[in-house]
Amino acid sequence: MKYSVFTDEQKRAARFAKAMGHPVRMYVLELLNKQSCCYSGDLTDILPIAKSTLSQHLKELKDAGLIQGEIEGPKVKYCINRENWKQAQELFSAILNY
């Protein structure tokens, strides 16, 4: 059995940090944190990027667990995953205040 020097908390914080490592993703997170939810089409209207590029950014945030998406007809509604958002805040706070 291989021993890891990295804790589960460090691995989780790194995954969140990687997902947050682009200005578009930070914008999306800030926007979703300020309001309850947002539709992907609305984000396309706001951000000067292609829909396919936005989809890739949303997928990265969703895969990290920072946001969640729900299909509503032809649109997808995205919201902050509040449980994981709180966990990310706690992990980063512990690291930054160490």
Backbone φ and ψ for 76, nearest 5 degrees, come out as -115, 130
- What pTM does this model have? 0.90
Q: What percentage of residues in the chain have a pLDDT greater than 90? A: 84
- pLDDT digits 0-9 by tens, 46-81: 999 999 999 999 999 999 999 999 998 888 999 999
Task: Sketch out the chain's domains with CATH numbers.
Answer: 8-96 (1.10.10.10)
Going by C-alpha positions, the residue among 19, 14, 10, 9 that lies closest to residue 67 is: 19
